[in-house]
Amino acid sequence: MAYGPSDAVDPREVRRALVVKLRHHGDVLLASPVFSVLKRAAPQAEIDALVYSETRDMLSLHPAVSRLFEIERAWKSQGSARRAAAEWRLFSALRARRYDLIVHLTDHSRGAWLARLLGARYAVAPDYAEKPRWWKASFSHRFPQAGLRHTVEFNLDALRRIGMQPGESERALVLVPGEKAQSRAAALLADNDLADKGFVHLHPGSRWQFKCWPAERVAALMDELHRRGERLVLTAAPDAGELELIAEIRRGTKVPLIDLAGQLTLKELAALTARARLFIGVDSAPMHIAAAMGTPVVALFGPSGEAEWRPWMTRHRVVVSAEHACRPCGNDGCGGGKVSECLTTLPVASVLSAIDSLLAQ
């Protein structure tokens, strides 16, 4: 008996495929296994990606990605003529690829339009009940949303729906830092007298304030880790809000640390965290980057759900509040006020307990 959908796509018919993931950095990284599985199922195929330009480093150098096409968010502010010209250049480049398969992984309307206009024989997307009839009719295959399921598995459901079943090892995140980033990370370790696996990497910030742990608690955690003899490396994105959080943390602690906040590219961040003994952070792209690099992770979760977003396929501990039955609510802070009490009240002792448990393995 053959298992699989009756309308499965014959992978031998796929010469070129386009995977569309128009989301943030972490979302794009969590789609990286889709390329691995698709390439194994259709080794002859050229597999392209369409992403926002700022997220390209999540997929660049991926061994299964043939070409990366990018959308600049700035197009919207460049005037109608310049935006139309940029959109036409992108569409023309995509059309010239003559795709046989489009894999659309979100509810973005662009994926539906591309499925209609690029002429691919097959197109697969999530089956969102609230979407209009025209959107659903744009795809030859749709896959259901299946409850509390990790985002990686949800992405892979697109391939399951067309008959391409993922193997266990193919589900791992793929992020390739590259030689330049590896050299920079090695130099940073040498300059600061750090050994591989000889430091703890903390990245406490997020572009979303409601996902952040208070600065005074991060400082208290760092005080205790230093007392235990740990070397500490602190990073943040070159974002005003994240840099202010780092400044607050530094005002709250006097322990020696290596502050690389705002100084690293995403590839360099990946190369650095791969050398860490442990990563500590919140639900954010750097947490997923650490997981992709195989670094043990302690992740603090507030309103977002760990079932969908926990560190993937690496040793980890998730720290959540047992006192807030309302989480995960998915809101941007309690009452939409940008402050999540289920996260801000997490005690330092709970994080230390998770660290001890993970390092004892």
**Structure-token pair, residue 78:** 């460049």
N-to-C CA span, the chain: 42
Residue 74: the pLDDT is 85
Task: Fill in the DSSP letter of residue 298.
Answer: E
What's the pLDDT at 52? 98
- Per-residue pLDDT band at 2 (split at 50, 70, 90): low
Q: Please check the confidence at residue 211 and state whether its pLDDT lies above 70.
A: yes
Number of residues that this document lists for the chain: 361
Q: Are 257 and 230 in contact (CB under 8 A)?
A: no
pLDDT in tens, 236-286: 999 999 999 999 999 999 999 999 999 999 999 999 999 999 999 999 999
Contact 266, 255 (CB under 8 A): no
Does 320 have pLDDT greater than 90? Answer: yes
User: Hey, where are the domains in the chain?
Assistant: 11-171, 179-359
User: Comparing 116 with 361, which gets the higher pLDDT?
Assistant: 116
Q: Give domain 11-171's CATH number out of 3.30.70.20, 3.30.70.1450, 2.40.50.420, 3.40.50.2000.
A: 3.40.50.2000
Distance between CA 120 and CA 88 in Å, rounded?
Answer: 18
Strand extents, DSSP E, the chain: 16-20, 46-52, 68-71, 101-104, 122-126, 141-143, 200-203, 232-234, 258-259, 278-282, 297-300, 316-319
**What is the per-residue pLDDT for 111?**
95
What share of the chain has pLDDT > 90, as a percent?
A: 94
- What is the residue-wise DSSP string for 261-286? TT---HHHHHHHHTT-SEEEEESSHH
Residues 5-11: what's their mean pLDDT? 96
For the beta sheet containing 46-52, the strands, ordered from the edge strand earlier in sequence to the opposite edge, are 68-71, 46-52, 16-20, 101-104, 122-126, 141-143
65 pLDDT more than 60: yes
Tokens for 226, please give them. 């230093």
The pLDDT value recorded for residue 77 is 83
pTM for this predicted structure: 0.97
Average pLDDT over residues 296-307: 97
User: CB of 105 within 8 A of CB of 22?
Assistant: no
Q: Write down the mean pLDDT value for the chain.
A: 96
User: DSSP letter at 63?
Assistant: T
Helix pair 179-191, 266-273: axis angle to 10 deg: 60
Q: Give pairs for 121-130: CB < 8 Å, separation 24+.
A: 121/13, 122/9, 122/14, 122/162, 124/158, 124/159, 124/161, 124/162, 125/158, 126/154, 126/157, 126/158
Whether the predicted pLDDT of 146 surpasses 80: no
1 has a pLDDT exceeding 60 = no
Would you identify the CATH topology of the domain 179-359? Rossmann fold (3.40.50)
